[in-house]
Copies of this chain bind each other. A is one copy, B any other.
Amino acid sequence: MAGNTIGKLFKLTTFGESHGEAIGGVIDGCPAGLKINKDFIQLELTRRKTGPSFFSSNREEKDEVNFISGLFDGQTTGAPLAFVIKNINAKSDDYETIKEIYRPSHADYTYDKKYSIRDYRGGGRASARETVARVVAGAIAKQVLEQSQIKIIAYVSQIGSIKLQKTYKELDFKTIESNFVRCPDADTAQQMLDYLEIVKNNNDSVGGVITCVVSLCPIGLGEPIFDKLQADLAKAMLSIPSVKGFDYGSGFDAASMLGSENNDIFVIDNNQQITTKTNHSGGIQGGISNGEDIYFRVAFKPIASIMKEQQTIDRNKNQVTLKIKGRHDVCAIPRAVPIVEAMAAIVFTDHFLRNKAYLFDKK
């Protein structure tokens, strides 16, 4: 079974290559009667595209989304929503020189071996450009989630070794978009920017971490034993290009904690509702949302395309020196913020519908 579909009830299938005619997707399972806000979708696409002018790649795409089907009078009809974003500014000539070369830590080699044929232009199907389709689907998912109250917010919490020291509760999410690195803490953001300047001058790239917070999630999302909420989130995140790790709640830190530290004591809040004193569980217990904030971290490796010269191998096993042309991101993490949100929105919409299917008044 090929792997270009994600979700069970809210199902996204994507298609398209970096330098093909278009990137696109089909959403099957979007509830009918939803008024689609296209401006919002465009806004999300812009967030994905935007980074600090001097850190971003030089490919300029309008990223206008065109819906081919599934909408009538601006509303979803229950039919599949197909959409495309044209590739306009693809300069395939840039890639002619490297069509035989396996770029280090790219997918060139594995695609070649798996499929015996490879669209080498701009990374083909393996390019991060594919994520525009995820962002469109995520923007629609976010609109479905408005039916409940679920809110999904992500931000950059680490670039290189510079880590945001505050927890998400201490941050003002409104400031996320106020700086180029999408870090909601002015001091840390400045340190990150300064550091990126150095990395850029060294013709290098650097990794980082995105933290995502999902609030107001109803109790009950997640389908044990295998489709636990955290399991589907992990899969969705690890499917994003360059992602190397995922943890939620106390995460990897839980490994060095005692049970008495990590356990979340149940208490009654001021509204006489059950809540927990701490939230090391990250809003999920037994694979099911418990009504607390869900938060998780996504680790990204540095972009593999660096401006430094690198040694590598070509298809014919010749040693070659690679000097990547064009300009590439020094750090893609800020631009990945809307992608993380989009994938989370798809997972939550899917689980929202999955949970709803089984809820009914018993006789």
Inter-subunit contact A115/B32 (CB<8 Å): yes
Inter-subunit contact B15/A69 (CB<8 Å): yes
How far apart are A249's CB and chain B's nearest CB, in angstroms?
Answer: 6
Contacts of A33 in B (CB 8 A): 115-117, 362
Stretch at the interface among A57-65, A172-180, A279-287: A279-287
How far apart are A297's CB and chain B's nearest CB, in angstroms?
Answer: 8
Task: Name the residue in A29, A202, A224 with the highest tally of chain B Cβ atoms < 10 Å from its Cβ.
Answer: A224
- Among B124, B313, B353, contact of A357 (Cβ-Cβ < 8 Å): B353
- Among B6, B110, B225, B304, contact of A14 (Cβ-Cβ < 8 Å): B225
Q: Would you list 29 pairs from A and B whose C-beta atoms are within 8 A, ordered by A residue?
A: A1-B1, A1-B9, A4-B225, A5-B28, A20-B68, A24-B69, A32-B116, A32-B358, A72-B118, A75-B117, A76-B117, A102-B274, A104-B263, A104-B265, A110-B222, A110-B290, A113-B219, A160-B255, A207-B257, A225-B239, A226-B239, A230-B243, A234-B235, A235-B235, A247-B247, A247-B252, A257-B301, A266-B313, A356-B356
In the complex, whether A79 has a CB less than 8 A from a CB of chain B is yes
How far apart are A232's CB and chain B's nearest CB, in angstroms?
Answer: 7
B-contacting residues, A273-331, CB 8 Å: 274, 276, 280-282, 284-290, 297, 299-306, 308, 310-313, 317, 319
Q: How far is the CA of A297 from the CA of B234 in the complex (A)?
A: 13
In the complex, whether A91 has a CB less than 8 A from a CB of chain B is no
List 4 extra interface pairs beyond A1-B223, A274-B313, CB under 8 A: A1-B11, A4-B80, A110-B220, A259-B308
Contacts of A251 in B (CB 8 A): 244-245, 299
Task: Name the residue in A76, A125, A161, A319 with the highest tally of chain B Cβ atoms < 10 Å from its Cβ.
Answer: A125
Contacts of A220 in B (CB 8 A): 110, 113-114
Inter-subunit contact B244/A245 (CB<8 Å): no
Contacts of A80 in B (CB 8 A): 2, 4, 13-15
Taking A72-B119, A288-B107 as contacts, is the C-beta distance between A114 and B78 under 8 angstroms?
yes
Inter-subunit contact B286/A107 (CB<8 Å): yes
In the complex, whether A339 has a CB less than 8 A from a CB of chain B is no
In the complex, whether A214 has a CB less than 8 A from a CB of chain B is no
Inter-subunit contact B17/A1 (CB<8 Å): no
Inter-subunit contact B362/A34 (CB<8 Å): yes
In the complex, whether A182 has a CB less than 8 A from a CB of chain B is no
Inter-subunit contact A114/B355 (CB<8 Å): yes
Q: How far is the CA of A111 from the CA of B225 in the complex (A)?
A: 12
Contacts of A118 in B (CB 8 A): 72, 77
Q: How far is the CA of A244 from the CA of B262 in the complex (A)?
A: 12
In the complex, whether A205 has a CB less than 8 A from a CB of chain B is yes
Contacts of A9 in B (CB 8 A): 1-2, 357-358
Q: How far is the CA of A224 from the CA of B301 in the complex (A)?
A: 18
Contacts of A72 in B (CB 8 A): 17, 117-119, 124
In the complex, whether A130 has a CB less than 8 A from a CB of chain B is yes
